[in-house]
Amino acid sequence: MSEQNKIYDVVVVGGGIVGCAVFNAIVRNGNSAILLEAEDDVGAMSTKANSGIIHAGYDPKPNSLMAITNLRGNEMYASMCKRLNVEIKNCGTLVVATKENREKIQELYDRGKTNKVKGLKILERDALLKLEPNLADNIVCGLFASTASIVCPYLVCIALAEEGVINGGKVITNFRVSSIKKGKDIFTVKDDTRTQTVYGKYVVNCAGLYANFINSLVDEQEYPIKLVKGEYILLDKSQSNFVNRPIFPLPTEKGKGILAIPTLHGNVMFGPTATDCSFHDTSTTPDGLEQIKSNIILSVKKPNFKKTIKLFAGVRVKSGSDFVIEKSKKVPNFYYTIGICSPGLTSAPAIAEMILNMLQKDGLKSQPIKLKQRKPYGEHFALPKSELKKLIKKNPAYGKIVCRCEKVSEGEIIDALNSPLHPRTVDAIKRRIRPTMGKCQGSFCMPKIVKMIADYEKIQQEDVTQKGEKSEILVGDIKQGGIYDL
Amino acid sequence: MKLVCIRCPRGCNLNITKKSNGQIIVTGNSCPRGEEYGKQEITQPKRTITTIQKTDFGTVSLVTSKAIDKNLYFDVLKKIKNTKVKPNPQVGDVFIKNIFKTKVDIIISGIHMCE
Amino acid sequence: MIYDVAVIGGGPAGMAAAISATKEGAKVVLIERDYRVGGILNQCIHNGFGLAYFGAELTGPQYAKRWEDELKKQKLDIKLNTTLEQITDCKKLVELTVVSNKNVEKIKAKSVVLSMGCRERPAGAINLCGTRPAGVFSAGQAQKFVNIHGKMVGKKVVILGSGDIGLIMARRLTCEGAKVIGVYEIMSKCGGLARNVAQCLNDFNIPLHLSTTVVEVIGEKRVEAVVVAPVDENLKPILEKKKIIKCDTLLLSVGLIPENDLIQDFDIEFDNVTGSAVVNEYFQTSNSKIFICGNVLHVNDLADNVSREGLQAGKFAALFAKNKLIPQNTITIVHDNHIKYTVPKYIHTNSTGTATISFRVDKEYHQVKIIAKSNNEIISQKPSPVVIAGEMQSLIIDKSKIKNDLSLEIEV
């Protein structure tokens, strides 16, 4: 059967962290799977603007899906990251409180115990300061959760998809599902702007912000949802010692509050805010910045905001107070996940496990495969110099530094262009190996990257985009239009 | 007439007056170049034009050999647009000789590989 | 092989430093990451360089070429396509780890001249709000795309920031076919030189909007518009007066930052105002082996000044390497509060020759006298009809007249 008419066991709609985890789990269990992503890359919507924390699980309401998948996800993460060859740092997290809120730390601790979270400890100020010297002066105690970790959220997402692809799965980007038809046994999934049709026996809806729309395509129930925007401030690496682990204020109804978060790569970020929004609005706002700046000092000393290199925002979707992970009652073999907000990143592998179990219960026959391991991206400049030397002897392009801030070579960019998902945009390359992510934010290296993508793809530089269609960086050759039309 | 001198980074504020006998008086300048500029600017303003032309390896940067009649600014650019760079260009090469019969040449000021 | 002087960066400062160090008889290595020397001068194709050194109005590439030609007459090692990865202080020597497409190697030198230039402030640093679509460029980035790639960055352009490179790019983009809608400047004064306002904006009828800033970027995939608003005296935008301006491109010319990350971890005295090391008149830092000059020391307005600093730094680095720079008493140059900082900060007493003190003032002053005093006596002075924050000032001092103190004042 030709690739075009292939009937996949499972069609996964949506390539965020949940969709990629589901896709990955299905492939690893020996079933054929195809992942359809509307954007130009996986993890390019909510997942990329995530705090990157693998939560311990003390926060969710006991017995909720959030609590169950959080705990299970947390257990799965370390071995999953090892298998995927992506970094995870088990630094723990800290919730801090002032004198007035001391008993709330105890409540959180108790809830954690109910949720069966291991490694929780209440610490007093002296002990806290040993862990985190930059706490605010009025912090008296805190809850340390030793099982929590940090990861690079989009890289985990990309790695899950890549592992799926090198083990036989298929990912199509820029595929905006516009219709899903169910025949006798087979789903027909289409993007009406493309000629390609996708066929599958099972469909899993992991479309995040658009999950209700995908449900509506099969007349499945829609859920009340709320979109919540979270803004962040990112500082450069000179501030890498500001905190050693994510620091939370006490959680409130609105969410987990404004955190101070170290990133795996040595930056520190502050956020997210929690503002209701009505569409996928990732704009940053003066109010949001002000909120971050005024709230962060309740937990930590005043950060050096002069070192800000980037403001960004993401939108997460909430549905009631818990995740929705269901199978359709109307349409057999259709499954959906809705409202996967925090702790969704942590829960993703557990949600995937749940979905896989549901599918298997409904007749999907699986046989785990012998896995081909995913190769990690370069990071060559973190290697001992002798290793780097060998690499350069083998491939001189590894010695040509393109991004001076994040130390990324031409060779590593070519490797990224050659990687399993075939990233073709400046942002997709950035998420993989970080050129343009440093202090100069691409002021020096972005032109070079545009040229490299154009040469690699044999296209014009003006056809290279920042993040997919209609985000072209250049408009064409010099000396066109304007005064030349006079 | 008040003008900012553009002949050096100092940017002197020039005051230019025209006497009844046609003589032009420039004040506010700090050097002879300023006086020269002031007189030129109210009779026939001139500019040094810099631009580029594309090549198969990148660009060459171009500059007028001396300031040229300001009214020709866009015409010079258009002429450059329609002139191709010859193979193996060198810094200092004349790209267009005696453009619009002004006795001003367009000179290659730099060779730039887009790599 | 141990070099006397290693020069890091082959822009205007580094080329000059390498030349003067070689002329002092030092064994010199110049490390440059690009395939050629010249640095950012190569993409500054506009004219206005070289009046101080060559008495001619040159373009950036021509100015670079003159220095390069001089450099090539000297006997020194030039390592192109080579990036400095690490600097290590090994007491008597400095060890540099450099990476190229051929190798990773260690270079030892008795002294180092840092001349890495500066980088542009990104959008995040000015808390630019709104979306993050394609079409937001820093001015230098756009300059590279246009002048070196021969590609246009946009058709309808708004420029934020009136520094010289913003003004220069307004003209460049117009001359390459774009419509530049306007230049917006949050401060009440233009950041760039008056002559650039005249020849880059006025010549092309491009409006300059002072005390106005961009408060928001609009557009999901590509810039569709920006929101501009006037600011009050505290530079806070007056949002009631905001306006939406349709455009496809936003250029940022919002300041430059010395690119000195490699020495941030070094035990070197830093200045909070310049964001870089402090030096004596030899351009020597508190680590006596390390010299620093040009835009990595403090951001200059003119390449000619950068070259001057480079010549000095290279010469003294060579003298140091040859043990001819005998450590002597230095004093701190004190200054009044009209002056934000001075380069150098320290100066030798019991010394001869002249020294140029560069500095910036905090705001605009008219009809002033710049005065240097030692032992309560005026040892140098110069009247100036106007001094502004955006323009670097300087005063030349006869060092033999310095007693046990030196102060710099602006007499308003």
pLDDT tens by residue, A425-474: 999 999 999 999 999 999 999 999 999 999 999 999 999 999 999 999 99
Burial tier of A131 (Cβ tally within 10 Å: 0-12, 13-18, 19+): middle
Residue in C122, C127, C144 closest to A440 by CB: C122
Give the percent of chain C with pLDDT over 70.
100
Q: How far apart are CA C220 and CA A457, in angstroms?
A: 25
- A402 to chain C nearest CA, in Å? 10
Q: What does the pLDDT average to over A276-305?
A: 95
Q: Does C177 touch chain A (CB under 8 A)?
A: yes
Torsion of CA C149, A408, C116, C14, to 10 degrees: -70
Secondary structure class of C98 (helix, strand, coil): strand
Average pLDDT over chain A, rounded to whole? 96
- C150 to chain B nearest CA, in Å? 6
CATH no., domain B50-113: 3.10.530.10
The pLDDT assigned to C23 comes to 98
Contact at CB, B77 and C198, closer than 8 angstroms: no
Chain B residue numbers touching C60 (CB-CB < 8 A): 110
Which segments within C263-312 are labelled E, that is strand?
270-271, 276-277, 290-292
ipTM value of the model? 0.96
Contact at CB, B52 and A478, closer than 8 angstroms: yes
Contact at CB, B50 and C62, closer than 8 angstroms: no
pLDDT over threshold 70, residue C16: yes
Nearest residue on chain B to C172, alpha-carbon basis = B51
Q: How far is CA A128 from CA A94, A102, A417, B40, in A?
A: 9, 14, 44, 73
**Site of tokens 């290697």:** A383
Q: Does B66 touch chain A (CB under 8 A)?
A: no
Pick A138 or B8 by higher pLDDT.
A138
How many Cα atoms sit within 13 Å of B99 on the Cβ side? 26
Each residue of C326-365: pLDDT tens digit?
Answer: 888 999 999 999 999 999 999 999 889 999 999 999 988 9
CATH no., domain C328-412: 2.60.40
Give the percent of chain A with pLDDT over 90.
95
pLDDT over threshold 80, residue A3: no
The fold of the C1-119+256-327 domain, in CATH, is: FAD/NAD(P)-binding domain (3.50.50)
Q: How far is CA C198 from CA C136, C178, C205, C206, C291, in A?
A: 26, 19, 10, 10, 37
Domains along chain A with CATH numbers: 1-88+152-223+319-376 (3.50.50.60), 93-146+226-316 (3.30.9.10), 382-463 (1.10.10)
Chain C residue numbers touching B61 (CB-CB < 8 A): 45, 59, 61, 147
Least confident of A2-11, B94-103, C289-298: A2-11
Q: Does C243 touch chain A (CB under 8 A)?
A: no
- Phi/psi of residue C380, each to 5°? -160, 145
Report helix angle A65-84 to A344-361, nearest 10: 100
Residue in C45, C65, C203 closest to B50 by CB: C45
**Alpha-helical runs (H) found in A318-369:** 344-361
Each residue of C31-61: pLDDT tens digit?
Answer: 999 999 999 999 999 999 999 899 999 999 9
Q: Radius of gyration of chain C from Cα atoms?
A: 22
The fold of the C122-254 domain, in CATH, is: FAD/NAD(P)-binding domain (3.50.50)
Kindly give, in sequence order, each residue whose CB lies less than 8 Å from that of residue A289, ignoring residues fewer than 6 positions away.
Answer: A231, A233, A311, C127, C129
- B26 to chain A nearest CA, in Å? 33
Look up residue B102 and give its DSSP letter. Answer: S
Hey, of B5, B56, B60, B61, which one would you mutate to test binding to chain C, going by the most C CBs within 10 A of its CB? B61
pLDDT over threshold 70, residue A2: no
Amino acid at C27: K
Q: What does the pLDDT average to over C181-204?
A: 95
- C197 to chain B nearest CA, in Å? 9
Q: What does the pLDDT average to over A24-41?
A: 98
Chain B residue numbers touching A477 (CB-CB < 8 A): 54
Secondary structure class of A158 (helix, strand, coil): helix
Hey, of C8, C99, C214, which one would you mutate to test binding to chain A, going by the most A CBs within 10 A of its CB? C99
Q: Which two tokens stand for residue B2?
A: 């008040």
Kindly give, in sequence order, each residue whose CB lies less than 8 Å from that of residue A340, ignoring residues fewer than 6 positions away.
Answer: A18, A206, A208, A317, A323, A347, A348, A351
Each residue of A44-98: pLDDT tens digit?
Answer: 999 999 999 999 999 999 999 999 999 999 999 999 999 999 999 999 999 999 9
Q: What phi-psi label fits residue B63: left (phi over 0), alpha (psi between -120 and 50 degrees) or beta?
A: beta
Chain C residue numbers touching A474 (CB-CB < 8 A): 145, 149, 151-153
Chain B residue numbers touching A483 (CB-CB < 8 A): 74, 77-78
Residues of chain C with CATH 2.60.40: 328-412
For chain B, list the contacting chains (3+ Cβ pairs, <8 Å). Answer: A, C
Each residue of C117-167: pLDDT tens digit?
Answer: 999 999 999 999 999 999 999 999 999 999 999 999 999 999 999 999 999
Contact at CB, B74 and A486, closer than 8 angstroms: yes
Kindly give, in sequence order, each residue whose CB lies less than 8 Å from that of residue B101, ignoring residues fewer than 6 positions away.
Answer: none
Secondary structure class of C175 (helix, strand, coil): helix
Contact at CB, A479 and B81, closer than 8 angstroms: yes
Contact at CB, A442 and C141, closer than 8 angstroms: yes
- In this structure, the number of other CB atoms found within 10 A of the CB of residue A151 comes to 25
Chain A residue numbers touching B81 (CB-CB < 8 A): 479, 484
Each residue of C214-273: pLDDT tens digit?
Answer: 999 999 999 999 999 999 999 999 999 999 999 999 999 999 999 988 887 788 999 989
Pick A362 or B1 by higher pLDDT.
A362
pLDDT over threshold 70, residue B97: yes
The pLDDT assigned to C326 comes to 84
For chain A, list the contacting chains (3+ Cβ pairs, <8 Å). Answer: B, C
The catalytic site residues of A sit at 55
- In this structure, the number of other CB atoms found within 10 A of the CB of residue C338 comes to 19
The pLDDT assigned to A1 comes to 52
User: Percent helix, strand, coil in chain C (nearest 5)?
Assistant: 25, 40, 35
Nearest residue on chain C to A381, alpha-carbon basis = C85
Pick C412 or A228 by higher pLDDT.
A228
A267 neighbors A150 (Cβ within 8 angstroms) = no
Chain C residue numbers touching A404 (CB-CB < 8 A): 33, 83
pTM of the entire predicted model: 0.96
Residues of chain C with CATH 3.50.50.60: 1-119+256-327, 122-254
Q: How far apart are CA C37 and CA C40, in angstroms?
A: 9
